C-alpha cells in the first residue's frame, strides 16, 4: 500500500519527539493537524482529476448553446396595409403579438439565444422586446436584434448569417416571426446532427406538415419533392395557386436527382 506524505512526516516527528516526556500528546496533536493517510486517499490521482486552467492541460469544451434566428418581417407584404405601421411579427393573435408565440416555442425547445432579423420598423420590435418578459434575466432566453436595411429575403438573411460566424458559429433553428407551434424542434436538431455525420452534403432539415387541398394557404402553396431512399428534398417549387393534383413534376425530379447545387436538404415530417 502506498503511504501518504502525512505518514512519513508523522513518523519522523515521532522519532525526534520521543525524547520529550510529553511526546504522545504532542504526536497526537500533530497527527490531527497533518493531512494523514485518509486525506491522501481522498485525493484523486492526477489522471482522474479535472483539467486545470494552468499547467498546460486544456479546458473541457463547453457544450454549444442552441441558437435560433427569427425572421421578423420577411413576409410583411402579405399583410399590407396592416404592416405599414406595425411589424408583421407584432400583429395580434388572441391579444398577443405573434412573436410572443414564436419565442415561447423556442424557449420550450431549449433555445438559449435568439437573433431577430428585421429591416422594417425595427424600433417598434426593439421596444416590444425591451418591455416584454424576455428582457428579464430570469427568462432563460437571450433575445438580440439584428437590423439590416439590405435584408429583403430569406436568402439575404442566410448570407448575412454566413458573415456573422463569430456570432452564430453553430447550427441554429430558422423560423419566421409568426410561428405558432408545439413541435419538438430540439429533436429535429439532434437528428440533423446525426445524419450530417454520415453525409456532409446535408445543409438543413425542414419541418413540413401536410395541409388539406382546400386549405386557405393554397394561393402560395409549394410542392415538396423528396426521394424515397433518403427522404431528401429534391425541390420545392411554388404552384402559384394551381391545385397540387394538377401540378406537374419534371421527370428528372421524379427520378430523385440531386439539386443542381450538389447539396441536399432533408425534409422531416413531424407527427
pLDDT tens column, 1-53: 433 344 444 444 444 444 444 444 544 444 444 443 333 333 344 444 444 45
Residue 259 pLDDT: 42
Tell me the fold of 62-182. Spore Coat Polysaccharide Biosynthesis Protein SpsA; Chain A (3.90.550)
Average pLDDT over residues 104-115: 91
pLDDT of residue 158 exceeding 90, the answer is: no
Average pLDDT over residues 226-236: 64
Closest CA to 111 of 59, 66, 159: 66
Ranking 106-115, 122-131, 179-188 by mean pLDDT, the lowest is 179-188
pLDDT of residue 199 exceeding 60, the answer is: yes
Residue ranges matching CATH 3.90.550.10 in the chain: 62-182
Residue 61 pLDDT: 60
What distance in Å separates the CA atoms of residue 215 and residue 243, rounded to the nearest whole number?
11
Average pLDDT over residues 46-73: 65
Residue 101 pLDDT: 94
Residue 169 pLDDT: 86
Instruction: Tell if the pTM clears 0.75, that is, is over it.
Output: no
pLDDT of residue 176 exceeding 80, the answer is: yes
Work out the pLDDT band at 166, boundaries 50, 70, 90: confident
* Tens of pLDDT, residues 70-100: 998 766 677 788 878 888 889 999 999 999 9
Amino acid at each position: 500500500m502506498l503511504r501518504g506524505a502525512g505518514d512519513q512526516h508523522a513518523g519522523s516527528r515521532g522519532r525526534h519527539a520521543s525524547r520529550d516526556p510529553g511526546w504522545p500528546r504532542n504526536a497526537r496533536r500533530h497527527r490531527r493537524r497533518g493531512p494523514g493517510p485518509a486525506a491522501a486517499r481522498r485525493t484523486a490521482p492526477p489522471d482522474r482529476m479535472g483539467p486545470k486552467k494552468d499547467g498546460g492541460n486544456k479546458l473541457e469544451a463547453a457544450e454549444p448553446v442552441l441558437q435560433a434566428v427569427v425572421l421578423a418581417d420577411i413576409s410583411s407584404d402579405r399583410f399590407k396595409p396592416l404592416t405599414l405601421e406595425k411589424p408583421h411579427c407584432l400583429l395580434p393573435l388572441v391579444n398577443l403579438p405573434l412573436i410572443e408565440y414564436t419565442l415561447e416555442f423556442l424557449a420550450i425547445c431549449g433555445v438559449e439565444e435568439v437573433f431577430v432579423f428585421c429591416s422594417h420598423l425595427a424600433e417598434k420590435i426593439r421596444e416590444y422586446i425591451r418591455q416584454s418578459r424576455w428582457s428579464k434575466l430570469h427568462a432563460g432566453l437571450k433575445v438580440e436584434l439584428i437590423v439590416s436595411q439590405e435584408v429583403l429575403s430569406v436568402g439575404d438573411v442566410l448570407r448575412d448569417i454566413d458573415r456573422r460566424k463569430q456570432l452564430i458559429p453553430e447550427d441554429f433553428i430558422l423560423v419566421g416571426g409568426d410561428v405558432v407551434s408545439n413541435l419538438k424542434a430540439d429533436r429535429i436538431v439532434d437528428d440533423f446532427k446525426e445524419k450530417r455525420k454520415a453525409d456532409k452534403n446535408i445543409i438543413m432539415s425542414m419541418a413540413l406538415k401536410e395541409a388539406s387541398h382546400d386549405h386557405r394557404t393554397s394561393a402560395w402553396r409549394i410542392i415538396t419533392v423528396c426521394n424515397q431512399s433518403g427522404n431528401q428534398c429534391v425541390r420545392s417549387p411554388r404552384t402559384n395557386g394551381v391545385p397540387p393534383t394538377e401540378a406537374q413534376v419534371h421527370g428528372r425530379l421524379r427520378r430523385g436527382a440531386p439539386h443542381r447545387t450538389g447539396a441536399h436538404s432533408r425534409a422531416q415530417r413531424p407527427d
